Structure 1
Amino acid sequence: MILAIKHRVRETREPWTDPNHTHTKPPRDSRPVYLGEFDLPRGYLTPCPCCSPNNYKFGAGKIAWFPDEHVLRLIGPQCFRTLNPDLHDAAVAQWEKEKKETQARDYLLERRDLVEGWLLVAGELLVMARAADRFFPALSGMFDNRAGVPLYPAIRDGFLHVWEEQPEFVTNEKGETYTKMVTKLVIHNAVSGEQALKPNRKQLEVALSQARTALSQAGAFSAEYIKAASAEDKTRIAKMMQTALKAIKQCHDLLEIDCRFLRVENLQNIRGWASRPNARLQFELGFGDGRITVTKDEQSHSIIIPEALRVRVPPSFEIP
């Protein structure tokens, strides 16, 4: 039942609509037994029958069974403490003890139904990562070696710079102060995804493939096996899944940063900057029809953007 409640909360984001939930305020002497915890996505709140039955107040809470009343309530994380600190603290202590004993099992059981969806997304990410690992080093090489445009060193701090004359106060040997004009690099605009052009850009395909395989293996165990497995086995499988999910998420986030370079607004910013006579680098940038073209000194060089990267944004990968 606890897993079903958590799944409904995750899907509906409305804990108070769960059919097991009781809306009445518990008596002060009603002993709670904490069976689980739930979290809502950022921006979502839920009321609490203990302290705010009519107001949306909490983004996380506890699944509490009240054996004296034979009812279940989804309440705020510390709310019953306002009614009876002693009973709340005793329930928390028991819950923490049980959680240590069952956390690996619960971690796996709560996520088994999500593994199939995660694997599908990881497969899409793998296609993009494979293309990115080949394309971005080639794109960097086109700028640096073929076109003679050292773009990454010029934008590695995340900004496009231009040369400007600016006044500077100078004091001579006599202590007299005067103004002279000096040429300085100043920020013109921001740039995104510059890390995609790093010479030592992290390769994502192998790490993502290994993590996807590990996630598949961890998710292949049945609920019955997980319940009956030794504590050591449950912990091992849970760590395997946790590590795999973390690795996939990390690859997803790095791929998302890479793809920002290819967004139209980013390429437009670079093109406009590079056409300015006072830009740190001057060249012509063309893009469209799945191709990027760099022209300098009347010499043009082009590269085709892989189909997998033309979506510009990787699919979402969320871990509850």
Structure 2
Amino acid sequence: MPEPIEIPEENRRNIIFETDPGDGIVQEIKQHIRETGEPHTWWGHSHTKPPPGSKPIYLDEFEIPAPKDVNGVAPCPCCPHDSAKYKKGRIAWFPQEMVIRLVGKDCFAALDREGHDDAVVEMRKRQRRAREIAFILSQIPKLPQVLDTARDALPIAQDLDAVEVALKGRLENTLRMRAWQTLGAGELRVRESLTESFQRADGSTGERQIESMRIYARIRGAAILNPLNRPLAPVISKAIERLAEVATDFSDVDHGNLEDTERSRVAKLVEREQGKLRETLEKMGERQAFLSPITINTLRTWGAMPNAELRCIFERDGETLYVGRDQNGKIRVPVGRNVDLSIPRLPART
């Protein structure tokens, strides 16, 4: 039998907590465990076996500091013998007895499986509730800045959407150029003829010309040519609408008193819409990159090369982009004045 662990005499009796101990006691327990590695020596721990019918409320979980290969560290009042039983445990308050027991993660299940499972379910609900409240409280103060960022980004997105539609229309419908198929990977390729040696059937060596493709340059922002793209501005508009509603309706309410379904809805909405905004701002940056002088100049130089995979013209003059197969056949694509504005940034994640 493993060596018994000494339990302080004062912990071998029931220590009364008449009401829900609250977060202050929970944090005190977890600090004691971090500092000592001995849950059973915390002053409020009742190292007594729960009687039949006593149901726990799991207040939180903890892990005792110990090497990874060690599974048993502390004794559990639910288990026989005062030997090392567990490393991962739970803070259990038994309201009928009005005591706190620090027990192994699943040890109480051996005494009452249903009571254990119910307590785990309720603990998960409380943990989710606490996370949602903390998240909402952390995000509500940021919403004015988030909304300002989104409103500043909206006209840029609208102009980028407009130039994307016009550009793809000119390339695909007017010029019949397979721009997406050629440029979609962001690689500008050129054809090269190489001399290859080979062995003839009679054993002699000969030479032959083969054609290969070489990457001349890489460009950013080719995603603007993707025919499956969806407009960016409506995503921002919808995010503004939904987040403004949250900022108006939920800034001055007690989030702890909200119905669980409503609080979850608000937390998920704020997280989802901010995620969409971040993704959209990144896409805007990519589209801007395609219209930048460095990309347009690279395309112009490459497209004029006789061995370019796609012979083409790309030129930009202020608010006008010119595209075509050659100088005589280039056509105009209007570029809105907001396209080159600096894309605003959302507040950092916390």
TM-score normalised over the length of structure 1: 0.67
Structure 2: stretches of 5+ with no match in the other structure? 1-22, 40-61, 66-88, 92-122
Distance of 1:157 and 1:206 partners within structure 2: 26
- Give the secondary structure class of the aligned counterpart of 1:279: coil
For residue 190 of structure 1, report the CA deviation from its aligned partner.
0.2
> Which of the residues 227, 231, 245 maps onto 2:256?
227
RMSD: 3.4
Distance of 2:188 and 2:251 partners within structure 1: 53
For residue 224 of structure 1, report the CA deviation from its aligned partner.
3.0
For residue 115 of structure 1, report the CA deviation from its aligned partner.
0.3
Equivalent position amino acid for 1:210 in 2? K
Is 1:300 aligned to 2:330, yes or no? yes
Equivalent positions of 1:21-170 (< 5 A) are 81=34, 83-86=35-38, 89=63, 99-170=127-198
- Give the secondary structure class of the aligned counterpart of 2:63: helix
1:245–1:319 Cα contact (<8 Å) kept? no
Distance verdict in 2 for CA 1:164–1:235, change over 3 Å: same
Percent identity between the two aligned chains: 18
2:159–2:336 Cα contact (<8 Å) kept? yes
Higher mean C-alpha displacement, 226-235 vs 103-112: 226-235
2:313–2:327 Cα contact (<8 Å) kept? no
Distance verdict in 2 for CA 1:205–1:175, change over 3 Å: farther
Distance verdict in 2 for CA 1:254–1:176, change over 3 Å: farther
Equivalent position amino acid for 2:36 in 1? N
1:96-138 CA-to-partner distances (Å, cap 9, x unmatched) read 9764341111111111110011011111222222222221021
Residue-pair matches, total: 250
2:322–2:333 Cα contact (<8 Å) kept? yes
1:137–1:199 Cα contact (<8 Å) kept? no
* Higher Cα Rg, which structure: 2
For residue 176 of structure 1, report the CA deviation from its aligned partner.
5.6
- Give the secondary structure class of the aligned counterpart of 1:166: strand
1:228-259 CA-to-partner distances (Å, cap 9, x unmatched) read 22333211211111121122222222222222
> Which of the residues 188, 192, 195 maps onto 2:220?
192
Distance verdict in 2 for CA 1:182–1:101, change over 3 Å: same
- Give the secondary structure class of the aligned counterpart of 1:182: strand
For residue 172 of structure 1, report the CA deviation from its aligned partner.
4.1
